[in-house]
Amino acid sequence: MVGCGALGCEFMKNFALLGVCCGPSGQLVVTDNDRIEVSNLNRQFLFREDNVGKPKSEAAAARALAMNPALNIDAKQDLVAPTTAHIFDTDFWNGLDLVCNALDNMKARLYVDGQCIFYEKPLLESGTMGTGANVDIVVPHMTRSYADGGAADEGGGVPMCTLRNFPHLIDHCIEWARAKFEDLFADPAQKAAKVLEDTATFVKKTRAETLQAADGRASKISKEVPKLQKLIASLEMGIKGPTMEDAVLLAWRAFHELFRDMILDLTDKFPEDATTAKGEPFWSGHKRFPTAATYDPANADHVAFLIASTNLFAAMLGIPGPKPPSERNQPGEKRWQAAYRKPEWLAAMLAKLGGPPERVQGAVDLEGDDAAKKQAEAAGDEGAREEAELEALLGRIEQIGASATGAFEPADFEKDDDDNFHIDFVTACSNLRAGNYSIPAASRHKCKMIAGRIIPAIATTTASVTGLVMLEMFKVLQGKPVEQLRNGNYDLGSNQYMMFEAEPPAQIKTKVEITMPDPKEHPDAYDAKGELVDMYKDPDMMLGFAERVLCHPDPHTKYDKFWVGPVPPTATVQELLDAINVTFKDAGLHVAMLAGPTQRTECEKDEHNPTGLRAGARALWNPLLSSTKANLDKPWGPLLKHLTTRDEMTWQTIDDPVDVSSKRLCTELEIQLHNDDDDEVKTPVVIIKLQPFDFESYKERKQREVAPWLEEACKKQRSA
């Protein structure tokens, strides 16, 4: 089971009370890298106040064992992701019977879904959103995968023009504050690290992405100027050795930039009596006329913003050292940065600064509001000034880059640590923004909910959806046909319930792919009704617009796969080719090309490729490339690593090299197969075994024969 929050607690209870994983060979592996917060206690019912700060998986396991001591649990505190593939490795996934997701984000769900597809494991998937819930049962070869269900929305967006200049709801202010957190405490540190690594490359890349950009040049320059200003301030601090006084200065400047200067820039551009091109009042409807802030030491939000910002700047500059994990938070004077949380200390520091900084005028970013943008452009063009300013900033970075030093640590937003100043900053920043626009302020709790993308779980919804999952789990374990499996969507609030059969997996089969020809260049391609004539639909006519895509097996699904080997990495490329050819001999297929995975490589930007990146793969063997013939006698594992490693002269990849020396399976190779007519044939994934590996397809698996144990266990329990 992946995750041990609201859903995970209910699943643990169900597993314990239903006797799942209680036999001699049974085991429930549950993992969650999160720790229990006070806010969890109202909906994650296995946790109590004395569990706060403890790992969720361990606390839930202890409660479940109290319900059923026979439950065999292995509680882990590891994230399930590509970065933990050494923990949840090939043997781990291959040894499972079922996988149960109790997750709250799409990225993790899709990763687990991909692992279940590869290792052909049934997946019990569910989720809640308020009073709504869904059940998705995924069975290899029988149902579509979770990813096939379509993209799920993890939250709606707000137009950027509304966030930047025209908020009218507190939610807009909170979203804006969350974005400013990244702009102030993450982006400068990330850029500083790149400057320290290679100043010339950073300047060249920045100039290419802004001054030399093909599209949206003016907007990109306008956005980059304030970012480079913050970067230079950070670099200069790093050179001289940053102190808490420097962090206060940065926070003081940020206060006036965000809540005074940006507001004055906007009201200068659009005064209170401004009108649109149609003569209507500009400040009307949802557009509220803002008022610039003046620092007030009696205003709690003003003080809170400066204290939070000061400590976050200090952490970014590496002044206090790393913060201890949240479970080691201390109260009172032992609290992290306790001396720098006091308003009295802040007041003493501000007294040394000599009053507010001078106003720094900047451009108003009106992207997303076309009418306002056109009106501003008609009033005057600031493009030339900003372009000159950007050039000057890049020149300054080149000057200080060589001597720049420091350890810059970008902030990684964490909503559940009450001592790290993250939610403190978002709350104060949101309310100051709201004050600019006469919007009612929000509580810290609301700011945490919105900035942290939290939708509270409702215990009734959670209990009901996990109960439905248990019913489907028994069907899967009993080998019921797909017609008897049920997925579902329902809403307890509106009393609407929909249960339906799980859909079979999509079939991949031989087909004809058609590219519609340009009617100007090929007027004979279309009939009087505008429909494509048969000649252009026939791949045998070889006109280049219809291509037959061959498949083997025909059809197959995403669950199918071919196994080759074992072929160790020390074997030669020729030996690997021979092993693949043996696998496909009966199908009349042979290897036509063997290459590494597609990688992203750097290239010069131009109007056709504004990203400066292109995709490509390097061949281990290709009969059309004579240079690869020499590779046939080389060990394929080291060769693959060499070809996928960055080379400044020939292969400027930004992706990691592929090293299979410690792996049991390899799926990174791109293998092109042809039939006897030399036509390319698409196949399911081809997996190279690097060492002996036992795998049984789900279609061929039989139900486990488990020795009777329940009656004997009950006798022992009664006698005890």
Are 607 and 587 spatial neighbours (Cβ–Cβ below 8 Å)?
no
Length of the chain: 720
Instruction: Please say if 429 is a catalytic residue.
Output: no
Alpha carbon of 163 to those of 30, 174, 483: distances in Å? 40, 9, 48
Where does residue 173 rank: exposed (0-12), middle (13-18), buried (19+ CB within 10 A)?
Answer: buried
Helix 170-185 vs helix 300-316: angle between axes, to the nearest 10 degrees?
30
Using CA of residue 232, residue 234, residue 235, residue 241, what is the dihedral sign? positive
Give the span between the Cα atoms of 400 and 614, in whole angstroms.
Answer: 32
CB atoms within 10 A of CB 407: 15
Shortest CA distance to 169 belongs to which of 449, 441, 444?
441
Grouping H, G, I as helix, E, B as strand and the rest as coil, residue 509 is coil
CB atoms within 10 A of CB 569: 21
Per DSSP, the residues of 241-263 read ---HHHHHHHHHHHHHIIIIIHH
Shortest CA distance to 451 belongs to which of 475, 472, 428?
428
Grouping H, G, I as helix, E, B as strand and the rest as coil, residue 599 is strand
434-446 burial, b for 16+ CB within 10 Å, e for fewer? bbbbebebbebee
* Cα within 13 Å of Cα(694), Cβ side: 3
245 Cβ partners below 8 Å, 6+ apart?
349, 352
Task: Give the active site residue among 161, 173, 429, 603.
Answer: 161
Q: Which residues are catalytic?
A: 161
